[in-house]
């Protein structure tokens, strides 16, 4: 019985893939492949060119060609899987996808770009360009924004939750920030009654913290460049987990000195909000209980034959 169900699931997935591909006619698909080749070339130049002017010029060409490609009927079904220098994520319910990428002037100035493409019944293009206004938004913690006032990040994960019959999409993103520090963000996206994207809201709560704070619209960590701060979603625990950070120089005001200390904090989705968990792992070993490497028994080693 299980084999039959598995075969039915595989057949259904294959049928859906074939149906999706058939929406794009062969001529249009051929054109998309050609445009993808151009996008891939400009995408590489945006990243690897040593000349800032070339990087920005490549970004301009990339943006124009991407919009042209997306205007192709049913382009939503085309994955653009050869574009390795940008992020391409479909929402878990496949009603939209989001493109994000970055172009850098130098190690201190980075501009993120992006777009949200909505799935449409007739295959026409419905696109929301994402305009990075990070440098103009002072109070990013509490500000609710839209696609024209976007706090830029390169997204690497989309989560979806429903609350009161409304869908909320949580975006995990990466921000190069500066030569001294890196940021990782958690951003909640939803669509208002007019179908427009909205970023932020009262989605991050700290009611269970030792020192309670007011709710926030978004959350991020900032840490020392190459400090390997982690922010990821753990499927088994149902939590967004991230490194607890401390200043390695005991200067808490200087985020560029922050490094992981081995503990983890987290957020768990509860009743339409990400509730903060101060300490994920509370189990501690007593003195002398820490695991140690088993000593090597040299008497059991076999001598190596020479010659």
Mean of pLDDT values over 235-250: 96
Exposed, middle or buried: residue 39 (CB in 10 Å: 0-12, 13-18, 19+)? Answer: buried
**Model pLDDT for residues 184-222, shown as the tens digit of each residue:** 999 999 999 999 999 999 999 999 899 888 999 999 999
Within-domain flag for 165 = yes
Within-domain flag for 208 = yes
Within-domain flag for 278 = yes
Within-domain flag for 171 = yes
Q: Domains in the chain: how many in total? A: 1
Which of 179, 207, 59, 39 lies closest to 108, judged by CA?
179
Within-domain flag for 203 = yes
pTM score, whole prediction: 0.83
Within-domain flag for 149 = yes
Q: Which residues span the domain enclosing 243?
A: 137-285
What's the pLDDT at 22? 58
Please, what is the average pLDDT of the chain? 87
Reduced to 3 states (helix: H, G, I; strand: E, B; else coil), residue 136 is: helix
* Cross-strand pairs, 242: 231, 265
Within-domain flag for 215 = yes
């Amino acid at each position: 019985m299980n084999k039959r169900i598995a075969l039915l699931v595989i057949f259904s997935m294959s049928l859906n893939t074939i149906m999706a591909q058939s929406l794009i006619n062969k001529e249009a698909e051929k054109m998309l492949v050609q445009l993808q080749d151009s996008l891939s070339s400009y995408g590489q130049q945006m990243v690897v060119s040593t000349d800032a002017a070339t990087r920005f010029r490549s970004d301009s060409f990339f943006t124009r060609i991407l919009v042209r490609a997306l205007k192709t009927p049913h382009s939503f079904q085309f994955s653009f899987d050869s574009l390795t220098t940008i992020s391409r994520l479909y929402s878990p319910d496949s009603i939209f996808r989001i493109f994000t990428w970055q172009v850098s002037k130098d190690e201190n100035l980075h501009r993120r770009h992006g777009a949200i493409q909505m799935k449409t019944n007739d295959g026409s293009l419905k696109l929301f360009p994402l305009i990075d206004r990070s440098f103009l938004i002072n109070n990013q913690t509490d500000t609710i924004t839209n696609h024209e006032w976007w706090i830029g990040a390169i997204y690497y994960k989309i989560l979806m939750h429903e609350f009161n019959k409304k869908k909320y999409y949580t975006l995990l993103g990466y921000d190069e920030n500066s030569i001294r520090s890196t940021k990782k963000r958690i951003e909640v996206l939803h669509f208002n009654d007019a179908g427009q994207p909205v970023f932020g809201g009262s989605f991050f709560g700290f009611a269970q913290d030792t020192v309670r704070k007011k709710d926030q619209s978004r959350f991020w960590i900032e840490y020392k460049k190459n400090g390997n701060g982690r922010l990821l979603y753990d499927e088994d625990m149902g939590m967004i987990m991230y490194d607890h950070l401390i200043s390695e120089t005991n200067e808490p005001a200087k985020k560029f000195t922050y490094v992981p200390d081995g503990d983890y904090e987290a957020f768990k989705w509860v009743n339409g909000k990400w509730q903060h968990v101060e300490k994920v792992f509370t189990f501690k070993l007593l003195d002398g209980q820490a695991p140690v490497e088993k000593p090597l028994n040299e008497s059991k080693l076999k001598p190596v034959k020479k010659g």
